[in-house]
Amino acid sequence: MYAGTRLVGGSARLRIERSGTLTRLAKMISLVEAAQLSKPQIARRVDRIAAYFVPGILLLAIVTFIVHMRTATTGEAVGIAMAVLLTACPCALGLATPISVLIASGMALKAGIVIKDAGLLETLSRADAFLFDKSGTLTYGRPAVSGIEGDWPPEQLLRLAASLESMSAHPFAQAIVREAGVRELRPAPVERFVERPGMGVAGTVEGMRVVVGSAAWLEAYGIRRFDPIIDPMIDPMTAGKGEAAGDSVVHIGINGRRAGLIRLHEQLREDAGRTVRALSAHGEVWMATGDRERAAARIGALAGIRRVRAGLLPEQKLNLLREVRAGKGRAGKRRVVMIGDGANDSAALAAADVGIAMASGHAAALETGDIVIVGGRLSQVAEVHALAGRTMRNIRQNLLLALVYNAAMIPLAAAGLLDPRLACIGMALSSLLVVGNAVRLRRTAFGRRTGRP
Ligand SMILES: Nc1ncnc2c1ncn2[C@@H]1O[C@H](COP(=O)(O)OP(=O)(O)OP(=O)(O)O)[C@@H](O)[C@H]1O
Ligand SMILES: [Cu+]
């Protein structure tokens, strides 16, 4: 088990074998260092150009030498050829991309954004679809129990559910266990515990077969959806008025019968609306969730997302991702950014063109995303998107600066109008210019620092 591992099903006993620099977290740090060396596609194109550039320049230097041999001494001709080589030295060109990437990812890291693959900055800057997970991403991921209903006494329902949920790491499970703790209910021992991600938990508690989870999960145990004749008390689709109508619901089945439900209220992140608005200027914004329709609609409306898909199992989130990608994008296919918490959307995070994981509390998400937000704010997603755009612009400026310098100086040098010593200084200056332009990123890295707590 790795440091920061999140247990999704069951419980575990663990022995610590390694610590310090041998942990997964330490490996993350080295991943970031490796990322700073990874190249965006634009750099690969530059490398390809350089492959022609270098032999071309060597040839040019030789030709220059031969031409000047006719009119000047050998020493002078060598000097001129040297000047050509010196001005043509593509060090500024070579520096243009890595220096910007280094500064941008360094700035991001300081702000709590880990960019694991800097090559994706270019993809991110061109993204035209954004797919958000709901729980833990758009919401704080710390739901609270807002109601308990059913044929059984509420405390009894809560105690049985909490007994099972104490073995689960799902946010709903934690909320239920917390609520039971507040009410000073003691969880009972559980036998034959099972958990299915995106569905729920089940097990034997005090001789009773207890099933806790989504309506589909109870149905898998042969417990029907609402039947008005058998149990008119609980209709999850109509129950709950006003605020409660948009709450999430966890159903409880006992011994093959529906026994009741627990309502959970999730709170939208304070910066969710702002983030969605900022990103929708660049492409479609979607929301995917395993939660029921109503709860999804409520969060979607609050966040300002119209494209909402509810009731998705983890693998269905992956299908939605593919569907969004197949939509009409600028280059045929869309470039999709998936933003999730890594709990039940790891597959989609990994499959997205760029996966951004919110590591709110759980270091597990570190493993999943291409970019990991450890700063805890959702608006950092919009910030890193903007940073990607600014970095790419900065790289393009650098390349232009370097090319203009070379294009202007090489003819001068070839004509014998440039002293080799001046060419030397010019080369250093052009590199400095590029570095200076890249350093500007530091100041503009996160634009106006709005929304900082
Ligand atoms: N441990 C659990 N206890 C109770 N219900 C669960 C549990 N795990 C899953 N469920 C049920 O399955 C549904 C889907 O769960 P899933 O974890 O896929 O998504 P979610 O937490 O609702 O939200 P999101 O998909 O936005 O992260 C939940 O709404 C809940 O009804
Ligand atoms: Cu150089």
pLDDT attached to residue 90: 79
Which of the ligands is closest to the CA of residue 94?
2
Q: Are 32 and 105 in contact (CB under 8 A)?
A: yes
Question: In this model, does residue 354 exceed pLDDT 80?
Answer: yes
Question: In this model, does residue 129 exceed pLDDT 90?
Answer: yes
Q: Specify the CATH number for the domain of residue 318.
A: 3.40.50.1000
Split at pLDDT 50, 70, 90, the class of 217 is very high
Q: Which of 60-74, 220-234, 273-287, 355-369 has the lowest mean pLDDT?
A: 220-234
- Does residue 436 sit within a domain? yes
Same domain membership, residue 365 and residue 315: yes
Separation of 198 CA from ligand 1 center, angstroms? 5
- Does residue 5 sit within a domain? no
Separation of 13 CA from ligand 1 center, angstroms? 25
- Does residue 4 sit within a domain? no
Same domain membership, residue 428 and residue 377: no
Atom of ligand 1 nearest to the CA of 213: 5
Domain interval for residue 421: 18-115+389-453
What is the enclosing helix (H) or strand (E) of 348?
A: helix 346-351
Q: Whose CA is nearest to atom 15 of ligand 1?
A: 198
Same domain membership, residue 362 and residue 302: yes
Distance, CA of 248 to CA of 138 (rounded, Å): 14
Ligand 1 neighbours, Cβ below 6 Å, are: 133-136, 165, 168, 170, 172-173, 198-201, 212-214, 248, 250, 289-291, 344
Q: Are 314 and 344 in contact (CB under 8 A)?
A: yes
- Does residue 453 sit within a domain? yes
Residues 6+ apart with CB under 8 A from 265: 143, 144, 145, 146, 243, 244, 247, 248
Distance, CA of 370 to CA of 296 (rounded, Å): 26
pLDDT attached to residue 50: 76
Mean pLDDT, rounded, for 126-149: 90
Q: How many CA atoms lie within 13 A of 185 on its CB side?
A: 21
Mean pLDDT, rounded, for 111-120: 85
Q: Whose CA is nearest to atom 19 of ligand 1?
A: 290
Atom of ligand 1 nearest to the CA of 340: 27
- Does residue 1 sit within a domain? no
Q: Whose CA is nearest to atom 28 of ligand 1?
A: 291
Final residue of a structural domain among 204, 230, 265: 265
Residues 6+ apart with CB under 8 A from 271: 377, 378, 379, 451
Answer yes or no: is the ipTM higher than 0.85. yes
Same domain membership, residue 344 and residue 277: yes
Same domain membership, residue 255 and residue 152: yes
Same domain membership, residue 134 and residue 282: yes
- Give residue-wise pLDDT tens across range 300-348: 999 999 999 998 887 788 889 888 988 765 557 889 999 988 667 777 8
Same domain membership, residue 405 and residue 321: no
- Give residue-wise pLDDT tens across range 195-213: 988 899 999 999 999 999 9
Number of domains the chain is built from: 3
Question: In this model, does residue 369 exceed pLDDT 60?
Answer: yes
Question: In this model, does residue 252 exceed pLDDT 90?
Answer: yes
Phi, psi dihedrals of residue 34, rounded to the nearest 5°: -65, -35
Same domain membership, residue 431 and residue 350: no
Across the chain, mean pLDDT equals: 83
Same domain membership, residue 369 and residue 300: yes
pLDDT attached to residue 6: 66
Which of the ligands is closest to the CA of residue 138?
1
Which of the ligands is closest to the CA of residue 425?
2
Final residue of a structural domain among 265, 290, 316: 265
Angle of the 41-71 helix axis to the 91-110 helix axis, nearest 10: 150
The residues pairing with 288 across neighbouring beta strands, listed in sequence order, are 133, 309
Atom of ligand 1 nearest to the CA of 134: 26
Alpha-helix residue ranges (DSSP H) falling in 89-231? 91-110, 120-125, 154-165, 171-182, 215-220
- Give residue-wise pLDDT tens across range 67-88: 888 887 888 888 888 888 888 8
Separation of 172 CA from ligand 1 center, angstroms? 7
Distance, CA of 411 to CA of 418 (rounded, Å): 9
Same domain membership, residue 258 and residue 120: no
Residues serving a catalytic function are 133
pLDDT attached to residue 385: 94
Residues in the chain: 453
pLDDT attached to residue 285: 94
Q: Whose CA is nearest to atom 3 of ligand 1?
A: 200
Distance, CA of 366 to CA of 5 (rounded, Å): 10
Same domain membership, residue 176 and residue 76: no
